[in-house]
Chain A
Amino acid sequence: MTGIRKVGVCGAAGTMGSGIAIVSARAGFETVCHDVDGEGLERAATQTASFFARSVERGRMTEEDRETALGRLSPATELDALADCDLVIEAVFEDLSTKQALFRALNPVCKADAIFASNTSTLSIAQIASGCGREDLVVGMHFCLPAQLMKLIEMSPGLNTSEEAFAAAWAWTEAAGQTPVRTRDRPGFILNALLVPFNNDAIRAVEAGVASPADIDTAIKAALGYRMGPLELIDLIGLDTQILLSEAFYPITLDPRAAAPPLLRRMVAAGRLGRKSGRGFHDYEDSAMYGA
């Protein structure tokens, strides 16, 4: 059971925010889609409508459910629209001062007991909460891409988060049909803490001439049953993003495996960003984005 009825999503025009809003509305929660980018919200609303339409076509949702789910979503560019939300999930840019400023601005607007959740991938929940005026009500709630399809949520309390707030946010993720796992407020939580250094190791193996990207991907898929090899995955994530992730973790963890390999920097400098630029560790004939 969750006491949460109404949810706000900040950054709802973005990749993650629009997916999180779908999860929330689909599960029956009134959902305010907030973003500073009004045109972006319109684009996101169109994409959400076609996502639900495809869900109906594929028999995952009835026509009636589609209509009610769409009816639960309301766009907003002003924070005031979040005043009566019980839970506000932020998925704005991955920048500490942007997230801190948002929570500080939300604090006087929102109900005193509203929970603030952050979808950050690399930042500290305690740091995002710092100075917001309700540090005990801030939790980490890390969805996976694409949020509307992936069930996993990594949930982490900050240093000052109350167990009650954490439990309430946890209960909401379950009510929303997701699968939460509890982790600590540490760089990359579980998934990225394991994945980012692993991917860097694969790049270092290419750089050291251990094997070709194709052979490395073939080996990992055949030996371990992964759907994608590490270099195919980096091409999908974007080599520039892999640098950003490395730079977010390495200065904090000082784990040499987290440091961006020199080859990665050379490839980004040479415009080989992965699928989105048509060339990364592999060549791509068309640079269409993955996923629907």
Chain B
Amino acid sequence: MTMAYAIHRTGESRSFPAGDAFLDGAAEDADVLVLLGVPYEPDPSRTAILIELGTECLGVHTGEAAGEEGSNALGFARYRNGGDPPSDLVELVRQPNTEERAIEAARAVFEGAGLTVAVSADRVGRIVDRLVRPKYNAALRLLDDGLAKAEDMDLACRLGLGYPDGPVERTVRGGLAYHHDVSSALFAASGQPGDAPARAAVVARARSEGR
């Protein structure tokens, strides 16, 4: 099922960079509104309002109410490994009382565009970064500890687990400074040592700031 959607947009979107077919598929106006960089304003008359997120929670835009929050507003982000092109995954962020009708409409919009949808609670890192950033930090720390050469760690993951790429090559390709920023956001929320950016990421961020 396809579902019409309108887009309000300012500047470049990480989910849908210029030229992305999703931008061309938008209608002038529709019951589902997609916000790319435009501030959120509540509008209960719409079926769903989809707010593109960075590392922040949806609650930053909508406000929260002690775990009772939820409306027709959802967050979303198309997963990207830093500077890599966007993947086919859209992480759809809901709150405890988000309207089911809004979730289904959002799913129809993104699946209609050929994307894959996974629904996440409103947590920093959502699903994928929450799981992979600590792993990449561990890989970078093990590299510092001399466990193995970077290329051997990557080869082991490709051959032993069938991954398309290994943790070190992937983190370096996506950008160590970017990895630093996502890990820092996770660490600020969780306080878990595994989320704290690894040394190599701290170095990359410092260098990118010219320190």
Give residues in A with beta carbon < 8 Å to B.
144, 150-152, 154, 179, 181-184, 186, 189-191, 193-195, 197-198, 201-202, 205, 208-212, 215-216, 218-220, 222-227, 230, 255-257
Q: Which of B10-18, B45-53, B131-139, B201-209 has 4 or more CB atoms under 8 Å from chain A?
A: B131-139
CB of B56, distance to nearest CB on chain A (Å): 16
A256-B131 contact given A191-B157, A219-B91, CB 8 Å threshold: no
Say if the beta carbon of B153 comes within 8 Å of chain A. yes
Knowing A205-B130, A223-B128, A224-B164, say if A181 contacts B79 (CB, 8 Å). no
Q: Are B156 and A152 in contact (CB under 8 A)?
A: yes
B146 close to chain A: CB less than 8 A? yes
- Inter-chain contacts of B119 with A (CB < 8 A): 211-212, 215
Task: Count chain B residues whose beta carbon lies closer than 8 angstroms to a beta carbon of A.
Answer: 44
Q: A222-B116, A226-B162 are in contact. Are A182 and B128 (CB under 8 A)?
A: no
Q: Which of B89, B135, B147, B164 contacts A219 (CB 8 A)?
A: B89
Would you call A256 and B127 a contact (CB within 8 A)?
Answer: no
Pairwise interchain contact A225-B163, C-beta atoms closer than 8 A: yes
Can you offer 21 A-B residue contacts whose CB atoms are under 8 A? A151-B159, A183-B147, A186-B147, A189-B156, A190-B160, A191-B156, A194-B139, A194-B142, A194-B153, A197-B135, A208-B123, A210-B121, A211-B119, A215-B119, A223-B79, A223-B89, A224-B87, A224-B128, A224-B164, A226-B162, A255-B194
Query: Of A150, A193, A225, which contacts B138 at CB under 8 A?
Result: A193
Partner of A190, one of B79, B146, B147, B192: B147
In-complex Cβ contact of A215 among B118, B139, B153, B160 (8 A): B118
Which of A151, A183, A202, A218 contacts B118 (CB under 8 A)?
A218
State A202–B193 Cα separation when bound (angstroms): 17
B152 contacts A181, C-beta separation under 8 Å: yes
Taking a contact as CB atoms closer than 8 A, the residue among B81, B148, B164 that contacts A182 in the complex is: B148
Q: A152-B160, A211-B118 are in contact. Are A198 and B131 (CB under 8 A)?
A: yes
| Contact A230/B131 with A186-B147, A193-B138, A210-B121 known, Cβ cut-off 8 Å | yes
CB atoms of A190 and B152 under 8 A apart: yes
Whether B87 pairs with A152 at a CB distance below 8 angstroms is no
User: What residues on B are CB-neighbors of A220 within 8 Å?
Assistant: 127-128, 131
From 73 to 113 in chain B, residues with beta carbon under 8 angstroms from any chain A beta carbon are: 79, 81, 87-89, 91
Q: Which of A193, A230, A255 is packed against the most chain B CB atoms within 10 Å?
A: A193
**Would you give the shortest CB distance from B14 to chain A, in whole angstroms?**
14
A219-B194 CB under 8 A given contacts A193-B138, A197-B138 = no
A222: chain B residues within 8 A (beta carbon): 79, 87-89, 116, 118
Residue of B nearest to A181 (CB): B152
With A193-B147, A222-B89 already in contact, 6 other A-B pairs whose C-beta atoms are closer than 8 Å: A189-B147, A197-B138, A210-B126, A218-B118, A219-B91, A219-B120
**Which of B120, B128, B155 is close to A181, meaning CB atoms less than 8 Å apart?**
B155
Between B121, B128, B159, B192, the greatest number of chain A beta carbons within 10 A of the residue's beta carbon is seen for B159
Residues in B whose Cβ lies below 8 Å from that of A205: 127, 130-131
Q: Which residues of B (169-211) have their CB < 8 Å from a CB of A?
A: 192-194
Q: A202-B131, A219-B91, A257-B134 are in contact. Are A193 and B142 (CB under 8 A)?
A: yes
A223 x B147 contact (CB < 8 A)? no
The reply to whether B89 and A183 form a contact with Cβ atoms under 8 Å apart is no
Task: Establish whether residues A256 and B194, one from each chain, have CB atoms under 8 Å apart when the complex forms.
Answer: yes
Q: How many angstroms from the CA of A152 to the CA of B137 in the assembled complex?
A: 23
Q: Is the CB of A209 within 8 A of B160?
A: no
Closest Cβ–Cβ distance, residue B75 to chain A (whole Å)? 13
What residues of B have a CB within 8 angstroms of the CB of A223 in the complex? 79, 81, 87, 89, 128
Contacts of B142 in A (CB 8 A): 190, 193-194
For the complex of A and B, the 7 pairs showing the least CB-CB separation, nearest first, are A219-B118, A222-B89, A152-B159, A181-B152, A223-B79, A222-B116, A215-B118
Asked whether B60 is an interface residue with its Cβ less than 8 Å from the other chain, the reply is: no
Residues of B within 8 A of A186 (CB): 145, 147
Residue of A nearest to B155 (CB): A181
Instruction: Decide: B152 and A150 in contact? CB cutoff 8 A.
Output: no
CB of A83, distance to nearest CB on chain B (Å): 34
Residue in A144, A194, A218, A255 whose beta carbon sits within 8 Å of that of B116 in the complex: A218
Contacts of B152 in A (CB 8 A): 181-183, 190
Contact yes or no, A194 B138, CB < 8 A: yes
B160 touches A224 (CB 8 A): no
> A145's closest neighbor in chain B, by CB?
B160
